[in-house]
Amino acid sequence: MKILILGAGRVGSSLASTLSREEYEVSIVDLNKDKLLKLQEEFDLATEIGHGSHPLTLEKAGADKDTILLAVTNSDECNIISCQIAKSKFNVKKTICRLSDSSYLESLEAFGSDNIDIAIGPENEVTEHLIDLIKHPGAEQIESFANGTLKVVSVKARKDGMLVNRELKSIKSDMPNTDTFVPAIYRKGKPLIPDGKTIIKENDEIYFLAAETDIDGVVQEMRLQDASSSRIMIVGGGKIGFALAKGLEEDYKIKIIDPDKDRCEFLSRQLNRTIVLNGAGSDEELLKSENIENIDIFCALTNDDETNIMSAFLAKKLGAKKTIIIVNNYTYINILPKNFVDIALSPQRLTVSMVLQHLAKGDVPQEVIFKMQSGAEAIEGIIHKNKFTEKFFNKPISEIPLPESCVIAAVIRGDKTFMHSKDLLLKPDDRIIVFILSKTDKEKIENLFLED
């Protein structure tokens, strides 16, 4: 499959590295020669120096009817024009367009019929994730599957958790009316597939599946639930900060800080119950005057990673109970001290997940990367009758051949969900969720979802 990526920024580079390892035929376009040279040295791909929306650049990069175009530059306008030209002039197979401005996402028909096949809005996705994390304190990642009816949640086990130092199967006696399953545990950074006799240890990173209404109860098993939050301070009144405040202000007491006076005036006009403050998130006197010690959740959401990190450090030092930040440079994720930054959310990870979902072979409604470096992810796919699956129908799902380090976490059949039911007989159109603990041959999994 030919993939043409426009933009060698963090998202484009991550996609290039991920897709080239999966044996796609990858080309990437950017104006920055040094970025392209570095990618070419590290991965098996082609590069083209030029502007992504220029017809000659697209032609040199090999755009044709077999190409899937990924327009992921930092410019919405460049991405839109690139998709229009790629479709009209080169008749590319599919266009996937990254759009930051929600007004563009709401006006796709204005850009021509079928010019943008798939539009992705990372900022909207980040906002939804932040709202989920605020509503479910204690959870560190929450991802939706099965049209939102199931959530995959990660939580760090603490010594005050009810299940810590006990066997995993004890959760059934603790919560007899809750349907949940733990497909993976990361212990000291190493993955393991647990069974009922696995002892949960402090600092284990546990991934579990549950309905949204059961998330808090399962988290309570792994760690003492954080107190419910009512006071939230947001640093950064950009698209994400504004959307988060608007989404929460009816239920929480919100303060939002931004250094730009014009932006503050806009926020004041658009927000109803949020207190808007003009200033910097790293201004110690400002934070003290706004009683930072009474803030339950401090969210640093500017476009500058260093500002977010330092603001969170300062807020924690001054007494904020919990800090959540966004970091665009994924390499920061694993080196941030947990005593200052409780949760670091990566727009880069979410964007790459959204793109990969639309590149998967077969019928794959959802694909989410949990750890970009280790390859941990979950894939939701619909089983169709084909040469890879036909001999497994009406046999236990445990007989489905999966690569090592993969586990079927759930089967959705109609409106029923079966959590890790090894003896369940496979049927056509079953929707399964496969949890992948480390880098593996995903083609064997995606073959299950191919339509005959």
Tokens (6 digits) for 364: 């794959």
- Rounded Cα gap, residues 237 and 257, in angstroms: 7
Give the C-alpha separation, 247 to 243, whole Å.
Answer: 6
Q: In CATH, which of 2.60.120.260, 3.40.50.300, 3.40.50.720, 3.40.50.2300 is domain 231-349?
A: 3.40.50.720
Amino acid identity of 428?
P
Count of alpha carbons within 13 angstroms of residue 44, beta-carbon side: 7
Sequence spans of domains, the chain: 2-120, 138-222, 231-349, 362-449
- To 10 degrees, the CA torsion angle through 441, 444, 450, 452? 140
Task: Round to whole Å and give the CA distance between 172 and 196.
Answer: 10
Distance CA 179, CA 418 (A): 9
For 49-78, letters b (16+ CB in 10 Å) and e give ebbbbeeebbeebebeeebbbbbbbebbeb
Radius of gyration for the chain, computed over Cα atoms and rounded to the nearest angstrom: 23
Q: Domain 362-449, what fold?
A: Alpha-Beta Plaits (3.30.70)
Q: Of 441, 447, 402, which is closest to residue 23 (Cα–Cα)?
A: 441
DSSP state of 201: -
Please tell me the predicted confidence (pLDDT) of residue 351.
87
Q: What is the pLDDT of residue 421?
A: 80
Q: What share of the chain is helix, strand, coil (3-state, %, to 5)?
A: 35, 25, 40
Report the pLDDT value the prediction gives residue 225, as an integer from 0 to 100: 64
Quick one: pLDDT at residue 226? 63
Q: Residue 151 region, left (φ>0) first, then alpha (ψ -120 to 50), else beta? A: beta
If you search the block for the tokens 């504004």, which residue do you land on?
242
Q: Give, for all 452 residues of the chain, the pLDDT tens digit.
A: 899 999 999 889 989 988 888 778 999 999 999 999 999 999 999 999 999 999 999 999 999 999 999 999 999 999 999 999 999 999 999 999 999 888 888 888 889 878 999 999 888 889 999 999 999 988 999 999 998 899 999 999 998 888 999 999 999 999 999 999 999 999 988 889 999 999 999 999 999 999 989 998 999 899 876 666 789 999 999 999 999 999 999 999 999 999 999 999 999 999 999 999 999 999 999 999 999 999 999 999 999 999 999 999 999 999 999 999 999 888 888 788 878 999 999 888 888 888 888 888 889 989 888 887 777 889 999 999 999 999 999 999 999 988 888 999 999 999 899 987 888 999 999 999 999 988 777 888 989 999 87
State pTM to two decimals.
0.87
Domain 138-222 top-level CATH class:
alpha beta
Angle at 362 between CA 347 and CA 94, to 5 degrees: 65
**Cβ pair 405, 379 in contact under 8 A:** no
Asked if 138-222 and 362-449 have one fold, the answer is yes
CATH class of 2-120: alpha beta
Q: Which residue type sits at 216?
A: D
